[in-house]
């Protein structure tokens, strides 16, 4: 720390750190950007990291995962919030007539893979977990009953009453097939809507667009749920009106039908037959209205919150697992460890190679995107980022770092290379102080 503070280029270092917005693990880039006059070939301006502190430019890591970098995840969360919200009430290039389009908030769940400890409240009172009179005793000697009223942070929540009875294979196969199930679900909704409108499926897009934004949420038991905003637009997206027959009721029926109709099959493996997986029977469909019980703010906030979370809330690791890793050393709870070892075991089988379960063991088998939107939903994260970068570039120009050129007369040639990431111990402390962020881990782990 003292060394950094005493360096002549401390101010420049501090301004780089401020520009990363408190990123915990900034990427270090080495390189240069040259601006040439296209007509004469004359070098007009050169920016090089040679004169930057330590010869590198530090840029934010841009992760969406709060467990890795709270500051960048917060940026991602806020961007996600604004784009979900724009899809509901307009803004950011989406006309506000979109509020008149039929829109539902839909939650698709996973089926049960065995009884787990749960916490339910009724009229503000916590209910017993699984109180069963004459409860059965399983072949492993566990009584299938639990009369405890679990507290919110009880680590047993989501864990099976009997781990040996729990269907770990089913759980990781469901996660692995969930993206395919979602795709089939969306296709089925389109087919059902086409039927409602008396159209051939291939003509549906000339009348109607199914727009959606969805997010995956891990439940404590280690399976994914999907929460989705599903909206009906006209043929050219949110600026066009859907046909009159395409109502919220028609969409509700299509969603109900599709959630039951679709399935995905995992091939036979080991001594197990092939297996068909479907959505769970719990299906929640709620209309989103400007002044109803489910407001657009609530929905946008909800989706944005889950967009920055991954499986670590289940107690797994937030990075890839190497087959040679000693899982004992990570101090995982039994449930998370069994889910991971099931992925590693199934991932080694030729029959299931396509599911790449070993690569995604830390995600408990799920290899889909956490937060996705259909092309027409609203603005994109890329556009929001570009707007922010454009703003940053304007600031650089006004503060004299970048010369102002007519864009189409200048040839810009950039050369960048990765030169590491993160902070030293002392830098991490200084960066936290400069940006008002907290050091959540021990600096020795940074």
What is the contact surface with Zn ion in residues (CB under 5 A)?
23, 60-61, 69, 72, 117, 129, 138, 140, 146, 148, 162, 164-165
CB of 28 to Zn ion, least distance (A): 13
* CB-neighbour burial class of residue 323 (10 A; exposed 0-12, middle 13-18, buried 19+): exposed
Query: How many angstroms from the chain centroid is the CA of residue 299?
Result: 15
Query: Least separation, in Å, of the C-beta of 48 and Zn ion?
Result: 24
Smallest distance, Zn ion to C-beta of residue 423, A: 11
**Among the listed residues 80, 6, 3, the one whose alpha carbon sits nearest the alpha carbon of residue 307:** 80
Cα–Cα distance for residue pair 382/373, rounded to 1 Å: 12
The DSSP result for 215-280, as a single string, is: EEEE-TTS-EEEEEEEEEEBTTBTTSPPPTT--HHHHHHHHHHHHHH--EEEPPBTTBPPEEE---
Nearest Cα neighbor of 60 from 385, 414, 368 is 385
Q: Would you say 71 or 228 has its CB closer to Zn ion?
A: 71
* Residue 386 CB neighbours (<10 A): 11
117 vs 190 by CB, closer to Zn ion: 117
- For Zn ion, give the closer residue by CB, 34 or 154: 154
Distance CA 288, CA 252 (A): 12
Residue 33 to residue 438: CA distance in whole angstroms: 34
Quote the least distance from Cβ 347 to Zn ion, whole Å.
25
Which is nearer to Zn ion, 21 or 301 (by Cβ)? Answer: 21
Sign of the CA dihedral with 130 first, then 136, 140, and 141 last: positive
CA distance 360 to 59: 28
b/e burial code for range 234-258 (CB count within 10 A of at least 16 → b): beebbebbbbeebebebbbbbbeeb
Which segments of 3-150 are extended strands (E)?
27-37, 43-48, 57-59, 103-108, 121-122, 125-126
**Which residues neighbour 172 within 8 Å (Cβ) at sequence distance 6 or greater?**
339, 342, 343, 346, 357, 364, 365
In whole angstroms, how close is the CB of 17 to Zn ion at the nearest point? 12
> Closest CB to Zn ion among 120 and 369?
120
CA distances from 123 to 53, 120, 127, 147, 293 (A): 59, 10, 10, 18, 18
| d(C-alpha 362, C-alpha 347), whole Å | 12
**Closer CB to Zn ion, residue 60 or residue 242?**
60
Q: How far is the CB of 139 from Zn ion (least distance, A)?
A: 6
The least CB distance from residue 136 to Zn ion, in Å, is 10
Which C-beta is closer to Zn ion: that of 138 or that of 402? 138
Q: How far is the CB of 230 from Zn ion (least distance, A)?
A: 32
Work out how close the CB of 169 gets to Zn ion at its nearest, in angstroms, rounded to a whole number. 15
157 vs 180, beta carbon nearer Zn ion: 157
Q: Let me know how long the chain is.
A: 446
The residue among 72 and 428 lying less far from Zn ion, judged by its C-beta, is: 72
Name the minimum Å distance from CB 388 to Zn ion: 14
Identity of the residue, 27 or 355, whose beta carbon is nearer to Zn ion in the bound complex: 27
């Amino acid at each position: 720390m003292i060394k950094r503070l005493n360096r002549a280029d401390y101010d420049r270092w501090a301004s780089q750190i401020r520009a990363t917005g408190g990123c915990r693990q900034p990427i270090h880039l080495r390189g240069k950007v040259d601006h040439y006059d296209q007509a004469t070939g004359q070098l007009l301006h050169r920016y090089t990291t040679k004169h930057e502190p330590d010869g590198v430019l530090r840029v934010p890591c841009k992760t969406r995962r709060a467990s890795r970098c709270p500051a960048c995840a917060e940026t991602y969360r806020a961007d996600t919030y604004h784009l979900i919200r724009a899809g509901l009430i307009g803004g950011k290039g989406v006309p506000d007539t979109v509020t008149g389009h039929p829109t539902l908030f839909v939650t698709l769940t996973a089926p049960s893979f065995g009884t787990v400890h749960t916490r339910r409240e009724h009229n503000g009172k916590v209910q017993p977990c699984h109180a069963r009179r004459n409860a059965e005793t399983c072949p492993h000697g566990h009584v299938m009953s639990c009369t405890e009223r679990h507290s919110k942070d009880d680590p047993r929540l989501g864990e099976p009453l009997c781990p040996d009875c729990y269907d770990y294979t089913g759980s990781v196969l469901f996660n692995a097939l969930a993206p395919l199930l979602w795709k089939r679900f969306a296709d089925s909704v389109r087919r059902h809507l086409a039927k409602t409108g008396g159209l051939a499926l291939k003509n549906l897009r000339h009348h109607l667009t199914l727009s959606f934004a969805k997010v995956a949420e891990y439940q404590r038991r280690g399976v994914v749920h999907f929460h989705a905003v599903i909206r009906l637009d006209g043929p050219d997206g949110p600026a066009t009106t859907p046909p009159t027959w395409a109502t919220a009721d028609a969409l509700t029926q299509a969603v109900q039908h599709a959630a039951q109709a679709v399935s995905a099959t995992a091939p036979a493996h080991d001594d197990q037959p092939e297996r068909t997986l479907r959505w769970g029977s719990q299906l929640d469909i709620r209309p989103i209205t400007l002044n109803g019980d489910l407001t657009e703010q609530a929905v946008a906030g909800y989706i944005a919150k889950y967009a920055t979370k991954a499986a670590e809330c289940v107690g797994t690791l937030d990075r890839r697992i190497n087959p040679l890793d000693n899982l004992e050393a990570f101090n995982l709870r039994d449930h998370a460890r069994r889910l991971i070892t099931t992925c590693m075991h199934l991932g080694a089988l030729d029959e299931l190679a396509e599911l790449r379960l070993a690569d995604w063991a830390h995600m408990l088998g799920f290899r889909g995107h956490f937060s996705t939107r259909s092309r027409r939903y609203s603005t994109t994260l890329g556009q929001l980022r570009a707007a922010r970068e454009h703003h940053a570039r304007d600031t650089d120009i006004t503060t004299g770092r970048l010369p102002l050129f007519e864009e189409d007369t200048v040839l810009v040639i950039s050369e960048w290379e990765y030169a590491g990431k993160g902070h030293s111990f002392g830098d991490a402390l200084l960066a936290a102080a400069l940006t008002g962020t907290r050091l959540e881990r021990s600096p020795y782990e940074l």
